[in-house]
């Protein structure tokens, strides 16, 4: 199987690579960060604003959209692209993360997962075949196999049983997608924090030959070192000619680190969710706009940033909006955080193109406060946004 993925440039100072992945709705450059639009919207942003920021691909959640408004409704209205007026590529999560985040409301069997809707309590059954068809009906450009995101600290026997089941589900997903044209399908590497299981899972998926491969089940409570080890174990096995997608990993420090390890695709709720809580990302590190030190500051949030927010508003005003719970504050914060992320990815791609990614990484970590990077407050306790 050919995925269409092309490696355009390799960085000789690291394992970073510059690539391009074609879809029916356009080609996106890698490494890429995908803003999360769980409910067919990236919160507080219009599609046109996302495009102006340089966003090329977004992520939507098949499980949540199946509940509201329903995949059949979205299909009737032209699929996700027509429904939400987004012209670029869309990747959909299968619902596998909800197997983790909605633990009290679901039951897993070999056949699939039975959920009790968190919206109205209705029973919903999702199996690998149905998850693929659901994403196809939504109009996804890239779909994910149904998997289980294994809780951190789960007993070894459970981790192995779940990983093997995810592999079997991947095989069923691949078979179900064989007759569906125009949609790429990615397998998802699981294995908890077991290095051997991670390698076995990756090899089993590679043998099935997917369009791309995701590394899942991370940012759920493990330490930074465990995360690094699990990504390394999977990278040892995954093929060079397919994109590697690190699911739910998206702190700036993560992006800079894992791009250097060969990561191509990333998503996370961090930039949009943090914007709503007043935590903003700058070239010097994080700024908590709630702090009183900003109450009389006439400085922009980030003097090196050219986003609409930093060009036009002061820290004092942003703090005022946040403390008053004004909607404009959420929008301005979100514009800034997403602009920062898009600029960061553009800088990483340029560093790869110029064969200086290792130097970029050193400068990045030397010039900013990275306190809190290895902190469980950033885990994906609730991955939807």
- Quick one: which of 119, 375, 190, 351 has its CA closest to 270? 375
CB atoms within 10 A of CB 289: 24
pLDDT band at 372 (very low <50, low <70, confident <90, very high): low
* Res. 174: pLDDT tops 90: yes
Mean pLDDT, to the nearest integer, of 77-89?
98
Quickly list DSSP for 95-142. Answer: SHHHHHHTGGGEEE-SS-EEEE-TTT--EEEE-HHHHHHHHHHHT-SE
One of 147, 254, 267, 302 is an active-site residue; which one? 267
- pTM score: 0.96
* Res. 340: pLDDT tops 90: yes
Lowest-confidence segment of 23-27, 233-237, 378-382 by average pLDDT: 378-382
Mean pLDDT, to the nearest integer, of 7-17?
98
| pLDDT, the chain, mean | 94
Lowest-confidence segment of 71-85, 184-198, 209-223, 357-371 by average pLDDT: 357-371
pLDDT at 1: 66
pLDDT digits (tens, 9 = 90+) for 31-51: 999 999 999 999 999 999 999
pLDDT digits (tens, 9 = 90+) for 101-134: 777 778 999 999 998 888 888 888 999 999 999 9
pLDDT at 120: 86
pLDDT at 377: 45
Lowest-confidence segment of 104-118, 235-249, 319-333, 366-380 by average pLDDT: 366-380
Query: CA-to-CA distance for 318 and 321, rounded, in angstroms?
Result: 5
Helix (H) or strand (E) holding 281: strand 279-282
In this structure, are residues 353 and 19 in contact, taking their beta carbons and an 8 Å threshold? Answer: no
Active site residue 241: no
Domains in the chain, CATH or no CATH each: 6-268 (3.20.20.105), 275-362 (no CATH)
**Token pair recorded at residue 323:** 């403390």
Mean pLDDT, to the nearest integer, of 40-67?
97
End-to-end CA distance of the chain: 33
* Res. 330: pLDDT tops 70: yes
One of 93, 141, 194, 302 is an active-site residue; which one? 93
pLDDT digits (tens, 9 = 90+) for 271-304: 999 999 999 999 999 999 999 999 999 999 999 9
Active site residue 141: no
């Amino acid at each position: 199987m050919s995925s269409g993925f092309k490696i355009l440039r390799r960085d000789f100072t690291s394992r970073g690579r510059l690539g391009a992945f074609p879809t029916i709705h356009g080609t996106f450059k890698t490494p890429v960060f995908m803003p999360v639009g769980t409910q067919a919207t990236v919160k507080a942003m219009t599609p046109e604003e996302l495009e102006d920021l340089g966003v090329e691909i977004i992520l939507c959640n098949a499980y949540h959209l199946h509940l509201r408004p329903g995949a059949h409704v979205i299909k009737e209205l032209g699929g996700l692209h027509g429904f939400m007026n987004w012209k670029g590529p869309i990747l959909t999560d299968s619902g596998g993360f909800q197997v983790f985040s909605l633990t009290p409301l679901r039951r897993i069997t070999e056949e699939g997962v039975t959920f009790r809707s968190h919206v109205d309590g209705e029973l919903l059954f999702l199996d690998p075949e149905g998850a693929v068809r659901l994403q196809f009906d939504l109009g996804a450009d890239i779909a994910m196999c149904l998997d289980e995101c294994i809780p951190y600290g789960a007993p070894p026997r459970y981790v192995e049983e779940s990983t093997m089941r995810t592999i079997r589900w991947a095989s069923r997903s691949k078979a179900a997608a064989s007759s569906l044209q125009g949609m790429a399908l990615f397998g998802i590497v699981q294995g908890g924090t077991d290095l051997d299981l991670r390698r076995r899972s990756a090899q089993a998926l590679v043998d099935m030959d997917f369009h791309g491969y995701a590394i899942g089940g991370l940012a759920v409570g493990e330490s930074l070192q465990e995360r690094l080890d699990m990504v390394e174990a999977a990278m040892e096995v995954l093929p060079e000619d397919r994109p590697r997608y690190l699911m739910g990993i998206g702190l700036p420090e993560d992006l800079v680190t894992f791009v250097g390890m060969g990561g191509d695709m990333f998503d996370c709720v961090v930039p949009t969710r943090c914007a709503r809580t007043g935590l903003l990302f700058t070239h010097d590190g994080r700024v908590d706009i709630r702090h009183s030190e900003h109450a009389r500051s006439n400085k922009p949030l980030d003097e090196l940033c050219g986003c609409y927010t930093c060009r036009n508003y002061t820290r004092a005003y942003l703090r005022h909006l946040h403390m008053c719970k004004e909607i404009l504050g959420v929008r301005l914060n979100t514009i800034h955080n997403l602009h920062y992320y898009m600029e960061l990815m553009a800088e990483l791609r340029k560093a790869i193109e110029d064969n200086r990614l290792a130097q970029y990484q050193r400068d990045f970590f030397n010039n900013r406060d990275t306190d809190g990077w290895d902190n469980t407050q950033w885990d994906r306790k609730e991955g939807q946004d």
